[in-house]
Amino acid sequence: MKLGRSHLVVISVVCFLVFTVFASGRDYLIHHELYSFGLQADMSWIGQDWLIYWFELQLVAFVCAFLVKGYRVHLLVFYEFFINSSCQDLLFFGLWNKMCFPVDSWDWMYWAYLFGSWSTEQQIFLSGICLIVGALIAVLLPKKIGRWKLP
Report the distance separating Cα 125 and Cα 34, nearest Å: 30
Write down the pLDDT at residue 142.
61
Identify whether the C-beta of residue 96 lies closer than 8 Å to the C-beta of residue 25.
yes
- Residue 28 corresponds to which amino acid? Y
The tens digit of pLDDT for each residue in 20-52 reads: 999 888 888 887 888 888 888 788 888 888 889
Q: How many domains does the chain have?
A: 1
Q: What is the mean pLDDT of residues 84-102?
A: 87
Q: Which domain holds residue 136?
A: 5-147
Coil vs helix vs strand at 104: coil
* Beta-carbon contacts of residue 43 (< 8 Å; ≥ 6 apart): none
User: What confidence score (pLDDT) does residue 61 get?
Assistant: 92
The single-letter code of the amino acid at 89 is D
- Residue among 2, 53, 60 nearest 25 (CA): 53
- Give the DSSP letter of residue 81: H
